[in-house]
Structure 1
Amino acid sequence: MDDQLILEDLHFLIATDKCLQDEVSELCNLLDSYASDGVEESVYSTSSDTDSSTVDTILQDFNHAVVEMAPALHEKKPRRKRKKIIDEEPLPAVGARNKFQYRQKQEILRLRSQVNELQQVLTNSKVSGSRSRHYTERHRAILENEQLRSAVARQATLIDTMKDYMHKKRRVDAETYRLAAQHSLRIASIHAIADRQYSRQFHAFVKAGLTSNNDEVHISRALCQDNRENGIILEFINRVHPPVPFHVIGEALWGAMCSTNAQDFPSSASQTIEHVDSDTLYQAYTDNSNGVSLNANTICKKYIEDHRVVIAWRNVLEDELRPHLSRGALEQQWGWMVVEDLGSRQCQMTIFVQVPLEKSMCNNVQFAQQAIETFQFCTPQGGDDLINSQPIDPAISVLMTLLNKGRHFELAIRRAVQQAVQNYYYAMSQPAIRHDLELLIASDAQLGTELSSMCELLDTFSSDSSLLDQVMEDFSSPRKRKAVPDDQVRAKNKFQYRQRQEILQLRDDVVALQGRLAELKAKSASPPPSDVTFWAGIAKQELLTKTEALQENAHLRSEVDRQMTFVESMMALLRKRPLLPVEGKDSHMAEWKQFKLAASQNLRIAAIHAIADREYSKQQSAFLNAGLYPQMNEEVYRTEAKPQPNGSVLAKFIVRTRFDVPVDVISVPFWNVITTNRGIDVPENAIQTTECIDADTYYHQYHTAVQMNCVITPVHLNMIFKRYEEPTRKVFVWRSVIEDALVPHMSTGVKGVQYGWATIEPVPEDPDSCDFTFLCHVLMLEKDLEVNSIDYILGKMDKYGFCRRDIGNKKDFAHMRRSPMEVLMERGRQWGVAYRQAIHDNAKAYRKKYPRPAH
């Protein structure tokens, strides 16, 4: 109780910031007034010219205080000699002669200015802290993600070995698109597969060129994939703009997916639908026509966002509850339906389907393209008769059955959309009924006028009771009515008064509700915010990357704990060292994440593509962290070097320049230098080999040795290069390999660690010009650095002339190969000179042949 009373009285004892500032201001004003008049001169001055009358006046004002202090005045105290301050601040030209008051006032003003400055610094620090918090958390999560991946990879080796040794069946993983028989694992796998497919939607739309514009698109094509198990992939893209709200189309599409009657299946086909929840379902389809058995088990899930609806689906490759999937042909398909809001009664529907074909189904791209055109996919015209009338060749019966099923699906979606549009406008627009309703139902203005007239009548009746009796007699029966007592008349007036008040209250409620309804209609009819800028898209992608990393970290922590318990138990049981890693079914999955290549050809090719694709996915974040977004018109030539927590140093080489030629004129010479090493000299004691994986992927091996302090140190630089051709730009990525099973001597010496990206994209306002952006990261390990100093490394980079406007001459650096770091720098400088010179020569020759038209 006492504590509560003290807390209640604290605000009377402690002054607030505003009160304190007001009192300080008042004190400064008092000091100014004392300084301006002659009070301090009469009280504090020791001059003999002091006016005695002024002294008497002041003594009279303080008479009582003098009387009390009289005994003390008789005591003589020794006068203290004041030290002379040489560096004392001089008094102002006009103001107080009392130095104490002047210094006190200056101290107060100085403190107030310091308080304001500190408050401003605190505010700026809060803003900057909130701005960088997301980036710091994301960076920390990604670092932890890498550490957890390595821990899981180390532990998985022993676990896989022990599982193979004890003949234990491997647990089903959702990433392999398999469903278990146990209900809990089955439901978890269904949601994991659907969510993973949903997260890939944005990247798939970017690669297909569906994010650059909003035009209608109808594309059906067959693409070749020579480096994968599935040689051909079919893509079907439809984009239309139905004139209805987006939620109407979203519900129609989901209804078509959920209904077994939406599609006209052949008599030999059957389909069952399992509803996991209101937004998730599992379809099982079987077709035994044309002498083949086709199985297609599909997971579908709907995602409702603020301004769009997304439906993602993916086929399952194995289901323990349906063992017949292993017999016959198995369809592999995934896709997305995205319905976005474009304003009032307008939306955009995009359907993107990808179907990979095994080589046993079809290994000819042209034939697959002809089959697609025969079925008339992604065209506004075409009916059911086009499906059933197609001739079936026994050699391609699986492909034709698959295309027949897809055509049925496309027509079902089209009918559902058309029916939804018709139903919407049938419910919203009926002119004849609306016209009749306007004649039968009074408008708000008419109703308000009639209510006002009724209230006026009630006022008249209330003020004149005789008039009320007269009106009542006019509408009464011919029989003579008895006189109504006065108290009943007053009662009737009270009822009329209450009725009038209720009518007025209802009128106010109607006006308020109409205003609220108009506000809601205006809010719903207003288009979505148009200030979704380039930065908003990047921030959304970064937030998604951070969320995925945090979720994967939680999963990896649980895996580390579970595997650590198993490892400790097995080591205690066997009392022996862990066996060497054996080549299992999925052992290469952990190796490529550590940038290692296996000896087996198929695993080696898969690892090369996986490493390159992973670096390709990091391009946007790397450019953002390097300050290359948003796109700028000015050129950039910059080098950086930053220390890392593990003692290593990360060097960055950044170049951005604009060329007055199209994209292909720049991309061709750049890729030629990568594939042929044209213009790059190889020293006598060095060995360089180039392996062509495919037309867009190359693997370079470079080996040399350098003698330093009478010790010969091998130097290795094995690089993976890959080219990606997007609809609007060309992207080149590269990454060094840490370990290669076919190159065992890489375990000794110094290994170069570098990765980077180069993008070539046209200038929006001038398609005949393009922007070339180059970003390369070089990681220098602490054990490989001769001098671990940022200034020393920056000096070396400047000495080699990296990232300058002048291309330079590669012969100027041929002799600078005295240490492993200089060998790698000289190699990188040669590459930079070679590709820049090739680009410059090709651009100059192009403009000489095709000059710009004169304006």
Structure 2
Amino acid sequence: MDHLGTKLRLDVILNPDDDVSHAARTSAVVMEGGAATLPGTADLKESTQRRRRPPPSGTTSTRQKVEIEVLKAELKTLHAQIQEMEVVSSSRKMTYWEHMAKIQGLERLKAVATNGQLTEAVREHTAWTDEINLLLKKKRRLMHPTDASMRSWEAYVLPPFSTDDAGSLSRRRRAMHAIADREYDRLQSVYLQAGVLGRNGAPFFQSALKPQPSGAVVFEFVEHTTVAAPFDRVGAAMWRAVSTNLPVPEGGGLVQTIDTIDDDVVYNCVTNTRQAIPLHSNIVLKRYRNATSVIQVARGILVDPMCPTDASVLVEDVTVWNGVTADETAPDAACVFTLVIRLNLGHVIIDETEDLTSQLATMSLAQVPKTQGTLGTDALRGYFETQQHAPVTMGNLHIYLGRVLRMEGPMRRGINDVVEAFQREQQQQRRLEH
């Protein structure tokens, strides 16, 4: 009797609109002591009263519907288990067709339960996708620099400085920090796109031209290798190279000013008139130091009211990520050096990019240093400014690279000097130990 009542209760809950279930609810009665009772009615009432609990506060109708669907799915699973037990443990010998009907009914219940679970999973996935799409729509988009709703520093524009405005200097410095911090936040994404994330110092060199959706072409140079010196010493050499004046070329044509904002930020302004088209490079450089790494970020300023330019002058649109991280295998004796340079060349003729692609592939192979644990000296400059290679005339690439090429040599030589000095110290220490 209890088993039959439970089965009827499951039929009632699972199929409330089914005609057979309705007939079973209204006509399936048994006589017990002259009284007509619905099988399992008392048990159902007692069970309902015992399991009734107040709804949690703040429950919405949508959440209640979801919970009901989950409970129905569980009940369908239980119903399927009951029918399976009937098929397996039935003491009465069933006919072949009755046995097949039982099995098909069981399979149908299992299929319905599985379908319900899949439907619920799809619903949850759809809700999650809608939420992500909503978040993406709320994300700030890259807007045109003239958009009034865009803060000036987001378009790499510095606020003006005036002696009559006491707060103009602090606003200008805050903008420099904000520009550098935004590029620093992109560091892991840049390393991933450049193919150096997770290489752990395995040598990797690459030079490429990358067309952008806007139609511009970006020149990207990537270098990743192991340097045989502690990261803090190498990081100090890197900072000395970027925070001091560039070597003055013969014949002049290069004017440079360096404004030290604080211990970790400098503003480097260079005007190069050695080429047919003058070039302005207004670069904010910021250093980030922690217990295991030193990261330097450089970003070109496109508009600076303190250094006005006209339309005939080129303005360098460049971003540099340069970092050294302690080598996991020998943190006190080596570090991983990574350099990523992205230089926006503007709109370039496609034929010119095709002519230069093969040359860049050859240049990437020439970056490997002669001595392990050091950096190749003048890697870019040695390729672009020697007579053994055809001159690079694609767009204004040779003009844009002027400052980068002049800074590259001192930085690399400074790092190699640190490596050489550290190796001498190690040799002297080993002699003393023996």
Q: Which runs of 5 or more structure 1 residues have no equivalent in the other structure? A: 1-276, 279-546, 561-579, 582-586
Q: Specify the code of the residue in structure 2 equivalent to 1:676.
A: T
1:744 aligns with 2:308: yes
Q: Specify the code of the residue in structure 1 equivalent to 2:257.
A: T
Q: Specify the code of the residue in structure 1 equivalent to 2:354.
A: D
Max radius of gyration: which structure?
1
Of residues 775, 778, 786, the one that matches 2:340 is: 775
Please give the secondary structure, in 1, of the residue aligned with 2:151: helix
* Superposed displacement of residue 828, structure 1: 1.7
Cα deviation, 1:114-172, whole Å, max 9, x if unaligned, reads: xxxxxxxxxxxxxxxxxxxxxxxxxxxxxxxxxxxxxxxxxxxxxxxxxxxxxxxxxxx
1:136-215 → structure 2 map (5 Å cutoff): none
Cα deviation, 1:211-258, whole Å, max 9, x if unaligned, reads: xxxxxxxxxxxxxxxxxxxxxxxxxxxxxxxxxxxxxxxxxxxxxxxx
Q: Which runs of 5 or more structure 2 residues have no equivalent in the other structure? A: 1-56, 59-130, 162-168, 370-375
Distance (Å, rounded) in 2 between the aligned partners of 1:607 and 1:588: 16
Name the residue aligned to 2:155: 594
Q: Per the alignment, do residues 645 and 788 of structure 1 end up closer, same or farther by CA in structure 2, a change over 3 Å counting?
A: farther
- For the aligned residue pairs, the C-alpha RMSD in angstroms reads 3.5
Name the residue aligned to 1:551: 135
Of residues 385, 404, 420, the one that matches 1:813 is: 385
Name the residue aligned to 1:70: none
Distance (Å, rounded) in 1 between the aligned partners of 2:152 and 2:279: 22
Please give the secondary structure, in 2, of the residue aligned with 1:828: helix
* Superposed displacement of residue 791, structure 1: 2.6
Name the residue aligned to 1:703: 271
Cα deviation, 1:191-210, whole Å, max 9, x if unaligned, reads: xxxxxxxxxxxxxxxxxxxx
Name the residue aligned to 2:353: 790
Cα deviation, 1:421-470, whole Å, max 9, x if unaligned, reads: xxxxxxxxxxxxxxxxxxxxxxxxxxxxxxxxxxxxxxxxxxxxxxxxxx
Distance (Å, rounded) in 2 between the aligned partners of 1:609 and 1:758: 17
Q: Specify the code of the residue in structure 2 equivalent to 1:790.
A: T
Distance (Å, rounded) in 2 between the aligned partners of 1:604 and 1:631: 38
Distance (Å, rounded) in 2 between the aligned partners of 1:677 and 1:797: 29
Name the residue aligned to 1:667: 235
1:403-802 → structure 2 map (5 Å cutoff): 551=135, 553-554=137-138, 590-600=151-161, 601-677=169-245, 679=247, 681=249, 684-705=252-273, 708=276, 713-745=277-309, 747-768=311-332, 769-782=334-347, 785=348, 789-794=352-357, 797=360
1:844 aligns with 2:416: no
Query: Normalising by structure 2, what TM-score?
Result: 0.56
Q: Per the alignment, do residues 735 and 625 of structure 1 end up closer, same or farther by CA in structure 2, a change over 3 Å counting?
A: same
**Greater length-normalized contact order (CA 8 Å, ≥ 6 residues apart):** 2
* Superposed displacement of residue 623, structure 1: 0.5
Please give the secondary structure, in 1, of the residue aligned with 2:278: strand
Distance (Å, rounded) in 2 between the aligned partners of 1:611 and 1:740: 13
* Superposed displacement of residue 813, structure 1: 2.1
Name the residue aligned to 2:78: none
* Superposed displacement of residue 850, structure 1: 3.1
Distance (Å, rounded) in 1 between the aligned partners of 2:250 and 2:282: 15
Name the residue aligned to 2:405: 829
Distance (Å, rounded) in 2 between the aligned partners of 1:808 and 1:706: 20
Distance (Å, rounded) in 1 between the aligned partners of 2:281 and 2:358: 23
Residues 208 and 361 in structure 2, CA contact (< 8 A), matched pair in contact too: no
Residues 296 and 322 in structure 2, CA contact (< 8 A), matched pair in contact too: yes
Q: Specify the code of the residue in structure 2 equivalent to 1:744.
A: P
Residues 598 and 741 in structure 1, CA contact (< 8 A), matched pair in contact too: yes
Q: Specify the code of the residue in structure 2 equivalent to 1:778.
A: L
Distance (Å, rounded) in 2 between the aligned partners of 1:814 and 1:681: 16
* Superposed displacement of residue 648, structure 1: 1.2
Residues 216 and 344 in structure 2, CA contact (< 8 A), matched pair in contact too: yes
| Alignment coverage as a number of residue pairs | 279
Distance (Å, rounded) in 2 between the aligned partners of 1:625 and 1:687: 35
Distance (Å, rounded) in 1 between the aligned partners of 2:302 and 2:360: 23
Residues 654 and 803 in structure 1, CA contact (< 8 A), matched pair in contact too: no
Distance (Å, rounded) in 2 between the aligned partners of 1:803 and 1:598: 40
Q: Specify the code of the residue in structure 2 equivalent to 1:673.
A: A
Equivalent pairs: percent with the same residue? 23
Residues 648 and 781 in structure 1, CA contact (< 8 A), matched pair in contact too: yes
* Superposed displacement of residue 824, structure 1: 1.9
Cα deviation, 1:362-385, whole Å, max 9, x if unaligned, reads: xxxxxxxxxxxxxxxxxxxxxxxx
Please give the secondary structure, in 2, of the residue aligned with 1:850: helix
Please give the secondary structure, in 1, of the residue aligned with 2:309: helix
Q: Per the alignment, do residues 551 and 699 of structure 1 end up closer, same or farther by CA in structure 2, a change over 3 Å counting?
A: same
Q: Per the alignment, do residues 681 and 655 of structure 1 end up closer, same or farther by CA in structure 2, a change over 3 Å counting?
A: farther
Please give the secondary structure, in 1, of the residue aligned with 2:273: strand
* Superposed displacement of residue 554, structure 1: 3.1
Name the residue aligned to 1:517: none
Q: Per the alignment, do residues 701 and 556 of structure 1 end up closer, same or farther by CA in structure 2, a change over 3 Å counting?
A: closer
